[in-house]
Structure 1
Amino acid sequence: MYRKPHGASLIIAPLLCATSTFLWTEGRYGAAGGTLLALSGVFWAHGFTGLFEDIRRHVPWYGTAGLPVALLGCFGAIAFGLQGFFEEVLAVSGPQSLAALAHHPVTATLVLWTPGPLFPLTVFGLGAVLAWRRLAPTWVGALLCLAATVFPMSRIPRIEWIASVADVLLLVPFAWLGWTLLRRSGLEGGVPRDPGVGAER
Structure 2
Amino acid sequence: MDIAYRIALVLGPTGSALATYLWTDGRYGATGGAVLVLAMVVWTYGLIGLLDAVRPRAPRYAAVALPVFLYGAMGGAAFGFQGVFEDIFDQSADASLAALAAHPFAANLLLWIPGPVMPLSLFALGIALARTHLVPRWPAALLCAGALAFPLSRIPRIDTVAYLADALLIVSFAAIAWLLPPERHPTSHVGPRRSHGRG
Instruction: Say yes or no: TM over 0.5.
Output: yes
TM-score w.r.t. length of structure 1:
0.88
Aligned to 1:137: 136
- Runs of 4+ with deviation above 4 angstroms: none
Pairing of 1:1-201 with structure 2 (within 5 A): 3-180=2-179, 184-185=182-183
| Cα distance in 2 for residues equivalent to 1:63 and 1:55 | 7
C-alpha distance in 2 between matches for 1:50 and 1:100: 37
Note the alpha carbon deviations across 1:103-124, whole angstroms, 9 max, x for none: 0001111110111111101110
Across the aligned residues of Structure 1 and Structure 2, the Cα RMSD in angstroms comes to 1.3
Residue equivalent to 2:192 = none
Q: Which amino acid aligns with 2:76?
A: A
Shift of 1:180: 4.1
Matched length: 184
8 Å contact from structure 1 (residues 56, 62) kept in 2: yes
1:84 aligned partner, one-letter code? G
Q: Retained in 2: the 8 A contact 1:8–1:179? A: no
Percent identity for Structure 1 against Structure 2: 47
Q: Which runs of 5+ in 1 are unaligned?
A: 187-201
Q: Could you tell me the TM-score, scaled by structure 2's length?
A: 0.89
Preserved CA contact (<8 Å) 1:31 1:85: yes
Aligned residues of 1:7 and 1:180 also touching (Cα < 8 A): no
- Provide structure 2 residue ranges, at least 5 long, that are not aligned to the other structure: 185-199
What SS does the aligned partner of 1:26 have?
coil
